[in-house]
């Protein structure tokens, strides 16, 4: 099951923090169990603020695209503003300011299935900084908490790869928060057992807690899939290495470790 250790839940080591001066930000949120990407695409076209760029299939078989990549039509500066919407209910925003982020999250609500609590969404969000490698010969990589991209034509795939790992991290954060909340809600049972006193809980509460436990068990089973590298990377060795490096940075493997 999920590790309950506070140290393992910490997503970014202190020594990896970098100054945001001169860098751009990328922000990740998990807001729901799932997005209806097809309706979202239609809504974005009608809204006319973002240009749909590509539907990406993480399993690389083209059967059901599960990531929608869009770019802002109206530029504020030279750096593009890109967004990746993952069907699993996460959104990654590149170079998007706080106000625009808020507007995007509000717009998303109508396409969400089983939305999460807004306080949890905010609390489990991630923000990183990014910039570009200084030379054309260098490749995209992660260096001390800084995403470094190339300016190649296919650099959106580098953004997608970083986004993929961030998506996993914030989704896992939501599940960790759910587990913490459940453990806290039954703490009195442990206390009563330690004291040898009678456990006071109604039948209705017992049934409700049992239901919550089964739901968490389902999430824990899903977490094992997070350790599998998506098929998308099987013939993209550099992106696969970049994905693995970024997942390692967010401690995905340790945070899904079975105890």
Q: What range does the domain containing 224 cover?
A: 7-258
What does DSSP assign to residue 231? G
pLDDT score for 122: 95
Beta-bridged to residue 232, according to DSSP, are: none
Least confident of 14-18, 69-73, 131-135, 222-226: 14-18
- What is the Cα gyration radius of the chain? 20
Could you tell me the pLDDT band of residue 167, with boundaries at 50, 70 and 90? very high
What are the tens digits of pLDDT across the range 59-100? 756 567 899 999 999 988 899 999 999 999 999 999 999 999
Q: Is residue 2 part of a domain?
A: no
Q: Is residue 1 part of a domain?
A: no
Asked whether the predicted pLDDT for residue 10 surpasses 60, the reply is: no
Asked whether the predicted pLDDT for residue 22 surpasses 50, the reply is: yes
Q: Is residue 80 part of a domain?
A: yes
d(CA 228, CA 245): 14
Asked whether the predicted pLDDT for residue 237 surpasses 70, the reply is: yes
Burial environment of residue 23 by CB neighbours within 10 A (0 to 12, 13 to 18, 19 or more): middle
Question: Which comes out higher in pLDDT, residue 8 or 182?
Answer: 182
Instruction: Report pTM.
Output: 0.81
Domains in the chain, number: 1
């Amino acid at each position: 099951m999920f590790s309950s250790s506070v140290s393992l839940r910490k997503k970014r080591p202190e020594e990896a923090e970098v100054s945001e001066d001169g860098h751009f930000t990328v922000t990740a949120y998990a807001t729901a169990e799932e997005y209806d990407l097809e309706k979202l695409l239609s809504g974005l076209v009608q809204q006319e603020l973002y240009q749909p760029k590509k539907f990406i299939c993480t399993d690389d078989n083209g059967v059901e695209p599960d990531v929608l990549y869009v770019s802002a039509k109206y530029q504020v500066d030279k750096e593009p503003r890109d967004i990746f919407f993952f069907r699993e209910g996460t959104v990654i925003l590149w170079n998007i300011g706080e106000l625009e982020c808020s507007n995007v999250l509000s717009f998303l609500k109508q396409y969400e299935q089983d939305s999460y609590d807004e306080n949890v969404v905010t609390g489990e969000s991630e923000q990183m900084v990014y910039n570009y490698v200084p030379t054309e010969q260098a490749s995209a990589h992660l260096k001390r908490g800084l995403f470094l991209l190339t300016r190649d034509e296919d650099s959106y795939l580098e953004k997608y790869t970083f986004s993929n790992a961030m998506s996993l991290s914030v989704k896992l954060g939501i599940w960790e928060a759910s587990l913490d909340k459940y453990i806290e809600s039954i703490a009195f049972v442990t206390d009563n057992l330690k004291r040898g006193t009678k456990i006071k809980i109604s039948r209705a509460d017992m049934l409700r807690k049992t239901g919550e436990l089964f739901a968490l068990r389902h999430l824990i089973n899903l977490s094992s899939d997070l350790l599998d590298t998506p098929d998308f990377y099987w013939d993209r060795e550099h992106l696969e290495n970049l994905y693995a490096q970024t997942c390692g940075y967010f401690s995905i493997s340790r945070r899904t470790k079975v105890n």
